[in-house]
Structure 1
Amino acid sequence: MTDKHGKRFARVKLISLFLLSFVLAACQSNANRSQGPLLVGPSAPEVRAQNADANANLQNASVFLDVAIPTFDPGFPMDRNTGEIDYEELDDEGIWPQLRRTEAKLFAVETKKAMQSEKVFGSVVVVPDASTPSDLFVLGTITHSDSEVVGASVTVVDSSGEIWGIQEFKHEVSQNFFRDQRNSGKNPYEPIFKQISGYVVSLLSKLSEQDKQQIKDMSLMRYARYYSPEAFGQYIETDVKRKNGQRYYKFELNGLPDKSDPMLARIEELRAQELLFIDRLQDQYEVFDAQVGPSYQTWQEQTLPELEAAREAAFKRNASAAAGIGLGILAAILAKNSGSSAGQVGAVLGGIGSVVAINEAFKSNSAMKVHNAVIEEQGQAVDLSVGPTEMEFEDNTIELQGTATEQYMQWKTHLRNIYSLESTPDTQL
């Protein structure tokens, strides 16, 4: 054997031994815990057990916080230089943009349903963004979704700017989920939304009634300052804080105006009108959920078995490759541990881009054309498309047009113009 071939063989052997040791270590660590995915955060049963007593107390509370859930961030990879979507990385990760934008809205709606079922909050609404007045905000980002594994990162922050917590959540759908007729019509991702809801409840349970009332007071004062900073700015101090390397603004109350203040009473009326639009918008999100939900579930049901088939094909290729370099034992371990972390190593080594192939297969499947068309149409727009809306306030009617965000901003502008005319009657707007 020449020195050249000898060195090449030595490198191959060294790499093979490294892979083998890595897989064996994965198998050993896997033996010390239950099979299945690593869930970041408590599982749904644990959440229910931990919050059973807390929920009973919270349901009997005297102060209930209102919650706003902006549509989730779709989690697209971004180019650091341009700030635009990195489409090459998007393809590498197998993300179908229209599907992910659809999920961003659906996930917010599902989170709302889960939180409403807790019966420990005031109003729980889905909103286009975080510019709405509310006591608490649940900000979600989709980190993964391929019909089998769904992941989301959630940040919970109140109206004072205080970050209650940041948590990652994951859930893996069983391959047998859709084979069970009892699951017909059920959302296979439901456990992750229960996890998110349970997490927010666990954070809420740490607050006293006084803490919650202070948050509600802050919500009102920040809204009042938005309309009249000269009159209400004195009640709020702003500080800059850092958490997890991120800078954010923290607001503190210096006091409260008299409850009989006529300016404050007027602002409360305007806020009620703004929240009325948000309440009406919930009907639009429910319609969206009803229209898109069946097509989305069809995508989940059709792609889930394809993921399993793609994974099995990957392991077969891994076994052949391992045998080719004299690592039959590695192939055996990978085949044996297809559901373990060692099996995941094999999937990575296969490099098959299964999610990309599955999405393309779904889009090209003639039987799925109707469902695909629904997802394509709904996912083209970043924002929720809604029809013209008529809003009436004090004998004045205004027709709002455009997307949900555009209509919301039109209504906010209209209300602010009303306040400006009342506070400066001689000014022409």
Structure 2
Amino acid sequence: MPKLDIIVPVFDPGIPEDSGRAKKDGIWPELRRAEANRFAYKMKVALEDLGVFGAVRVAPDSSATGDLYVVGKILESNGAEVEIEIQVVDISEKEWFTKSFDLDVSEGFYDNARNKGLDPYDPVFEEAAIYVAERLNGFDGKELENLQMLTDIRFGASFSEEVFAQYIKVEKNFWGSKNLVLASMPSSDDPMIRRVKAIRVRDQLFTDRMQSHYVEFSLKMGDSYSIWQSSSSFEVRAERAAQRKAFGQALVGVLLVAGAVSAANNNRNNNSGTTAAAVAAGVGGITMLTE
């Protein structure tokens, strides 16, 4: 079975255009941009580890040439939770899927000494990679070979469109989306095809040389990023605990006020001591609501 080469562009950091909203959501733009590079590298590693794909390369954007593009976006990352959106599109411009993957980090992860050096986010990338690999089951060997040939032809068309355009045509699927398909197959002995393949090798070598930069970047930020994940997770959980406590106090306060009103109505004709007790309960409820 042919193995497809994958391009993983640097993730969309998911930073809102409104800086006020970013601040409200607790998003640090510089950190998110760093995560966008790190997450792309993590996605690359998860895909490589499955052993079912060809070369998996991180690239600055989608302009690099590959058989398959795994395009990611960060939806949430706060140490306690991570959520990413993955869109997979092949060289024919056919979308395989768009799906979000999320993970809640276990509360004791950062306190467990056995987790030292581990990234709690790794499982979300592994889940996404497995999902991509499972979609390969819908293709036979010939279809994958055609995708690889289409990659060479589209790469060649970027240099000489008039020569390679004859091999490509546009088709609409059942839903009206347009995909590129092979109109015909050039001969493997075609000198232009051989030249294109040679140029592609040099292009791939250039992209390969960039991989060490993504590896180094991810390793360098690893320790400080782990500290941020732990601290941010603690803050997120502390804030939520405070919110739950405040909500609980407000709920008790509402119930006390409601009980006081009910008691006052039921005991309207009773002695003043009972009414005073009901009023006291109501005052207590109001106090809790205002704390």
Tell me if both proteins adopt one fold, taking TM over 0.5 as the criterion: yes
Q: Which residues in structure 2 correspond to 1:318-337 (within 5 Å)?
A: 318-326=247-255
Q: Secondary structure at the match of 1:168?
A: strand
Task: Go from structure 1 to structure 2 and tell me whether the alpha carbon gap of 1:264 and 1:141 turns closer, same or farther (over 3 Å shift).
Answer: same
Unaligned runs of 5+ in 1: 1-60, 78-84, 330-429
Question: Which residue in the other structure is 2:273 paired with?
Answer: none
Q: Name the CA shift for 1:72/1:249 in 2 (closer, same or farther; >3 Å).
A: farther
Please name the residue that 2:34 is paired with. Answer: 102
2:207 corresponds, among 278, 281, 285, to: 278
When the two chains are superposed, the root-mean-square deviation of aligned CA atoms in Å is 1.8
Match of 2:6 in 1: 67
Partner of 1:14: none
Q: Which residue of structure 1 lines up, in the alignment, with residue 101 of structure 2?
A: 169
Alignment partners' CA distance in 2, 1:328 and 1:187: 48
> Retained in 2: the 8 A contact 1:319–1:328?
no
**Cα distance in 1 for residues equivalent to 2:210 and 2:184:** 33
For 1:122 and 1:224, the matched residues in 2 are separated by 20
The aligned residue for residue 57 of structure 2 is 125
Is contact 1:322–1:328 with CA below 8 Å preserved after alignment? no
Cross-structure match for 1:316: 245
Residues 227-266 of structure 1 mapped to structure 2, 5 A cutoff: 227-239=159-171, 249-266=178-195
Equivalent residue letter for 2:13 = P
For the pair 1:215 / 2:154, whether they are aligned, the reply is no
Q: Secondary structure at the match of 1:94?
A: coil
2:92, 2:237 → 1: CA distance? 46
Matches within 5 A, 1:4-15: none
Distance 1:157 1:327, change over 3 A: farther
Change (3 A) 1:133 1:242: farther
Does residue 181 (structure 1) correspond to residue 113 (structure 2)? The answer is: yes
Q: Does the Cα contact within 8 Å between 2:80 and 2:237 map onto a contact in 1? A: no
User: 1:217 offset after TM fit, Å?
Assistant: 0.8
Return the alpha-carbon distance in structure 1 between the equivalents of residues 134 and 196 of structure 2: 33
Partner deviation per Cα, 1:148-185 (whole Å, 9 max, x = no partner): 11001111111011111111110000110011111110
Q: Please name the residue that 2:225 is paired with.
A: 296
Map Cα deviations across residues 119-146 of structure 1 (whole Å, 9 max, x no partner): 0110011111111110011011111111
Return the alpha-carbon distance in structure 1 between the equivalents of residues 193 and 231 of structure 2: 55
Residue pair 1:161, 1:248 contacting (<8 A) in 2 also: no
Q: 2:231, 2:21 → 1: CA distance?
A: 25
1:75-94 paired onto structure 2 within 5 Å: 75-77=14-16, 85-94=17-26
Of 316-325 and 157-166, more deviation after overlay is shown by: 316-325
Per-residue CA deviation, residues 241-296 of structure 1 (Å, 9 max, x unaligned), is: 697xxx96410110122211212211211111111100000011111111111111
Give the Å deviation of 1:237.
1.1
Shift of 1:324: 2.6
Q: Distance between the aligned counterparts of 1:316 and 1:134, measured in 2?
A: 52
Distance 1:98 1:64 in 2: 36
- Secondary structure at 1:117's aligned position in 2? helix
2:70 is aligned with 1:138: yes
Deviation at 1:325, TM superposition (A): 2.1
CA contact (8 A) 1:173 1:188 kept: yes
> Which residue is 1:201 aligned to?
133
Question: Which protein has greater RCO, CA pairs closer than 8 Å, 6+ apart?
Answer: 1
In 1, Cα distance between the equivalents of 2:42 and 2:257? Answer: 46
3-state DSSP of counterpart to 2:50: coil
Cα distance in 1 between the residues matched to 2:197 and 2:84: 35
**Structure 2 unaligned spans of 5+:** 259-291
**Alignment-mate amino acid for residue 91 of structure 2:** S
Distance 1:241 1:98 in 2: 41
Looking at structure 2, the residues matched to 288 and 139 of structure 1 have their Cα atoms a distance apart, in angstroms, of: 20
Report the alpha carbon displacement of residue 86 of structure 1 after superposing the two structures with TM. Answer: 1.4
Is 1:269 the counterpart of 2:161? The answer is no
Do 1:224 and 1:267's aligned partners in 2 also have CA atoms closer than 8 Å? yes
Supply the AA of the counterpart residue of 1:64: K
- Size of the aligned set, in residue pairs, is 258
Shift of 1:328: 9.3
Matches of 2:130 and 2:200, distance apart in 1: 29
In 2: Cα distance, 1:248 partner to 1:137 partner: 18
Q: Distance in 2 between matches of 1:152 and 1:305?
A: 21
Equivalent position SS for 2:76: strand
Asked if structure 2 preserves the Cα contact closer than 8 Å seen for 1:160 and 1:251, the reply is yes
